[in-house]
Chain A
Amino acid sequence: MSLLEVDNICVQFGGLKAVNDFSFRLDQGELVALIGPNGAGKTTAFNVVTGIYTPTSGSIRLDGRRIDGASPVRINHCGIARTFQNIRLFSSLSVLDNVMVGFNQSAEHGLLGTLVRSPGFVRDRAKFTLQAMDLLKTFRLDAHAKEKADSLNYGDQRRLEIARALATQPKILLLDEPAAGMNPQEKTELMELINFIRGRFSVGIWLIEHDMKLVMSISQRVTVLDHGETIAIGTPEEVQANPKVIEAYLGEPV
């Protein structure tokens, strides 16, 4: 039994089948990529797994428990965190606060504790600040901790989003085009970082990415979507050699 099991998911918007009969497995510590041309339904697949859309049919299991149709909040509590294709930081909060928001669900103090500054509150605050600074150090953002999130440069914002997602202590991390808009050097660094967090936090990572060099070099398996249909599943080598994939997405090697 895998950690995340997605079985025969369909998502239909009126007459349009955005994702059709999509199945998927992800284990702890694994890194799997989801690729395909624009409009293939990749982000829709993410949105279904994170609860933003409810699947028309099919089932999603995390640790054997069904989570399809649950709210995004519940699904996050179950252990799935994500980043967004168009960065969605809490832009007027500080970098540190952005990450600390993620720790909220493990807080031991309630509203009353907040208002009277109970010992539990003080303990939590110290602990979360420490953990958040730790996380920021891992992502080399600690120097910017006090700055507003939208004052960071683009690459840093992308990294902050990953840090924020990791703060919720997920079992599975979904990254929606984390390298979009980065220069080649930043992409290389990001690749190393993703590999590093996979080991350090032992999370399963599911990745949408258009940079084939990045995808093929770090992922263990690749799923290819086109018009909502899964056209190939396999190792990077298998997928790269698959004629259907070459026709739909990769194109002939020159």
Chain B
Amino acid sequence: MSSRKSDQSGHALGSALKSAWLLPALFGLWWIGTRVENPGVFDPYYARIVMLIGINITLAVSLQLINGISGQFSLGHAGFMAVGAYIGSYATTTFGGIITPKDDLIDFANPCAMAWYFICLGIVVGLGIVVVYGMFALIRESSRLHASLPGILMLLVLAWVIFDVSASAGNPVAPAYFVWSRIFGLLPRTFDTLMSAGLPAASHCSAWLPQVMLKPICFLTALFGGGVFAAIAGLLVGLPTLRLRGDYLAIATLGAGEIIRVVITNSEPLGRATGLSIPVYANSAGAGEAAHYIFPWVYGVALITTLLIWRLKHSAKGRAIAAVREDEIAAAAMGIDITHHKVIAFIIGAFFAGVAGALYGHYDGYLNPNTFNIMRSIELVVMVTLGGLGSIWGAIVAAIVLTLLPEVLRNQPVFIKESRMVIYSLLLVLIMICRAKRPWRWVLRGRRADLA
């Protein structure tokens, strides 16, 4: 109840600190941090678990915003994570500076070029979206048939180009291939032009930054860029699918997540199914060394995600989002723009999933599309559901418990170890059966699910 009172009177951070949970949590983080930062003391295996917990907290809390607070059942969270992971990591491999395994030399990291890269990519993606969305808007907004003819014609041409290109693949003289390369070559060419135009100036800017700041700024830019492009993916997925409800939305987001994964699997620069290595932070001395650098970032991001989503939940916007969840018709009658609020929740959730994905990529040093398959999304949905829909603290506790559980079972005597996954799923079923509305009630006594 204390959180409710302070919500109205005091500052959010102040009340978050006042709540009895955060202080021990921070202390624990600090303690673990001192262990993790010392690879000699801390086993890389444990370092990995600690890192995964931090990343899973970010993912679970951001999914809680979509599934619990805004009530839109999304099964595509791993897809947004993948977008953030690949975009962020790809930028780092290009501009983040390289530690060469042989002599540990650090090449020049170029954060301004990375930022310019993201801006160019954003411009080009934005242009593409405007063109495609404009075509659909043209058709949708025109009330009469003849007014929508130009849009329909353009779509037909597009369909012809796409189908003809796939039929005449590899034959560069086919007319559709020509049109295709003209139209779709336009965006890559715009990107190349912009990129090469701004690169010298950006590199010049980077040279002005102090040497020690280059790598952290690069890292931050990569995280932020990964988040932004995941948010754009969230917008693209959200705008059409958020009209659907319940199971249909779940299926549509599941499909969207798979589309993202399949696109990555087939994309040459992202390493196809072989995967993408990010040598910058991981390769020099194994996972322990990476943990040393990334630990504060992982838990910093988890803390910021929790704080911002907590703030969003306990605000006028959060109330509107909850109102849409409770009753769409009544919310509309109260002047709340339903689509707007659903999309906002979706975009912010996707943003933090992207940041978590970028963290994961930099930590692990290797990305494979299969990491982001449907099972990853389901794992996150299980965390959110088990934590209690709508409860941020529940999502955090569930993320910790469910990341630890398989590992704890792994370290048991042979009998338990071998049936580890069976026990894991049995435990899941048990918790689901036993759970009331809030399974962690004994942990969060006196705290109502919709307040936490």
Which A residues lie at the B interface, using CB under 8 A?
A: 50, 52, 71-73, 76-77, 81-82, 84, 88-93, 97, 100-105, 107, 109, 111, 114-115, 117, 121, 124-125, 128-129, 146, 164-165, 167-168
For the complex, is B332 an interface residue (Cβ under 8 Å from A)? yes
27 example contacts (A-B, Cβ-Cβ < 8 A) are as follows A52-B329, A72-B332, A76-B334, A76-B335, A81-B333, A82-B333, A84-B329, A90-B322, A91-B327, A92-B450, A97-B319, A97-B322, A101-B319, A101-B331, A101-B336, A102-B334, A104-B317, A104-B334, A105-B335, A105-B336, A107-B316, A109-B316, A111-B344, A115-B311, A121-B316, A165-B334, A168-B335
Bound Cα distance from A71 to B12, whole angstroms: 35
Q: Which residues on the A side are within 8 Å of B421 (C-beta)?
A: none
Interface membership of B102, Cβ < 8 A? no
Cβ-defined partner of A115 (8 Å) among B312, B329, B331: B312
**337-353 of chain B: CB within 8 A of chain A:** 337-338, 344
B329 to chain A, nearest CB (A): 6
Closest residue on chain B to residue A116 by CB atoms: B311
* Chain B neighbourhood of A129, CB < 8 A: 8
Q: Which of A52, A115, A124, A168 contacts B334 (CB 8 A)?
A: A168
Docked CA distance A101–B335 (Å): 9
Is A115 a contact of B308 with CB atoms below 8 Å?
yes
B407 at the interface (CB under 8 A from A): no
Which B-chain residue is minimally distant from A84 (CB atoms)? B330
Residue with the highest number of chain B CB atoms closer than 10 Å, among A104, A111, A167: A104
Q: Say whether A114 contacts B315, CB under 8 Å.
A: yes
Chain B residues near A165 (CB, 8 Å)?
A: 333-334
The digit string for B153-189, where 1 denotes a CB below 8 A from any CB of A, is 0000000000000000000000000000000000000
Q: A93-B450, A114-B315, A115-B311 are in contact. List 12 more A-B contacts (CB 8 A).
A: A73-B338, A82-B333, A89-B330, A105-B335, A105-B336, A111-B344, A114-B311, A114-B317, A121-B315, A125-B315, A129-B8, A165-B334
Q: Whose C-beta in chain A lies nearest to the C-beta of B344?
A: A111
Question: Is A93's CB under 8 angstroms from B323's CB?
Answer: yes
**Which of B8, B308, B327, B332 has the most CB atoms of chain A within a 10 A radius of its CB?**
B332
Report A-chain residues with C-beta under 8 Å of the C-beta of B335. Answer: 73, 76-77, 102, 104-105, 168
Interface residues on B, range: 20 to 34
Cα–Cα distance between A124 and B322 once the two chains are bound (Å): 19
Label chain B's interface by main secondary structure.
Answer: helix
**Interface check B320, CB cutoff 8 A:** yes
Question: Would A128 and B344 count as touching, CB distance under 8 A?
Answer: no
Please tell me which one of the listed residues B4, B8, B329, B333 contacts residue A125 in the complex, with CB atoms under 8 A apart: B8
A81:B334 contact, CB within 8 angstroms: yes
Contact in complex: B334, A50 (CB < 8 Å): no
CB within 8 Å for A117 and B330 given contacts A73-B337, A101-B323: no
Chain B min CB distance to A85 (Å): 12
Q: Contact: B334 with A164, CB < 8 Å?
A: yes
Contacts of B319 in A (CB 8 A): 93, 97, 100-101, 104
Residues of chain B within 8 A (CB-CB) of A121 are 315-316
A125:B316 contact, CB within 8 angstroms = yes
Question: Would A114 and B316 count as touching, CB distance under 8 A?
Answer: yes
Q: What number of residue pairs across chains A and B have CB atoms under 8 A from each other?
A: 99
Are the CB atoms of A76 and B333 closer together than 8 Å?
Answer: yes
Question: Which of chain A's residues have a CB closer than 8 A to the CB of B338?
Answer: 73
Interface string of B39-56 (1 = CB under 8 A from A): 000000000000000000
Chain B residues in 8 Å Cβ range of A90: 322-323, 326-327, 330-331
B11 at the interface (CB under 8 A from A): yes
Look across to chain B and name the residue whose beta carbon is closest to the beta carbon of A110. Answer: B317
Instruction: Give complex CA distance A105, B319 in Å.
Output: 12
The residue on B at minimum CB distance from A121 is B315
A-chain residues with CB within 8 Å of residue B311 when the two chains form the complex: 114-115, 117
Q: Chain A residues with Cβ under 8 A from B337's Cβ?
A: 73
Q: How far is the CB of B72 from chain A (nearest CB, A)?
A: 16
User: B387: shortest Cβ distance to chain A, in Å?
Assistant: 16
Task: Point out the residue from A88, A105, A164 that lies within 8 Å of B329, measured CB to CB.
Answer: A88
Chain B residues, Cβ within 8 Å of A71: 332
Q: Pick the residue among A76, A97, A115 that contacts B332 (CB under 8 A).
A: A76
Q: A80 to nearest B CB, angstroms?
A: 9
| Interface residue from A52, A77, A104 paired with B320 (Cβ < 8 Å) | A104
Kindly provide the distance from the CB of B94 to the nearest chain A CB, expressed in whole angstroms.
Answer: 30
Task: For residue B5, give the distance in angstroms from its CB to the closest CB of chain A.
Answer: 10
Could you tell me the distance between the alpha carbons of A111 and B348 in the complex, rounded to whole angstroms? Answer: 10
List which B1-49 residues lie within 8 A (CB) of chain A.
Answer: 4, 8, 11-12
Alpha-carbon distance between A71 and B334 when the two chains are bound, in angstroms:
12
For B300-326 the 0/1 string (1 means CB < 8 A from A) is 000000001001100111111011001
> Hey, which chain B residues are within 8 Å of A105, CB to CB?
335-336
Contacts of A84 in B (CB 8 A): 329-330, 333
By CB atoms of chain B within 10 A, which of A90, A92, A165 has the most? Answer: A90
Q: How far is the CA of A101 from the CA of B315 in the complex (A)?
A: 10
Interchain CA distance A72-B323 in the complex, whole Å: 15
Residue contact B329 to A124, C-beta cutoff 8 Å: no
Minimal beta-carbon separation of B307 from chain A (angstroms): 9
Residues of B contacting A117 with CB < 8 Å?
Answer: 11-12, 311
Identify which of A73, A111, A128 contacts B317 (C-beta below 8 A).
Answer: A111
Contacts of B315 in A (CB 8 A): 114, 121, 125
Q: How far is the CB of A88 from chain B (nearest CB, A)?
A: 4
Q: Which residues of A contact B450 (CB under 8 A)?
A: 92-93
- Are A100 and B329 neighbours in the complex by a CB distance under 8 Å? no
* Assembled-state Cα–Cα distance A65/B115 (Å): 48
- Please measure, in the bound complex, the distance between the C-alpha atom of A101 and the C-alpha atom of B308, giving whole angstroms: 20
Report Cα–Cα, A72/B331, bound state, in Å.
Answer: 9
Q: Which residues of A contact B336 (CB under 8 A)?
A: 73, 101, 104-105
- Give chain B residues whose Cβ lies under 8 Å from the Cβ of A77: 335
**Chain B residue with Cβ nearest A161:** B330
B311, B333, B336, B337: most-surrounded residue (chain A CB, <10 A)? B333
Residues on the B chain within 8 Å of A81, using CB: 333-334
Given contacts A90-B322, A93-B450, A101-B323, contact A50 B316 (CB under 8 A): no
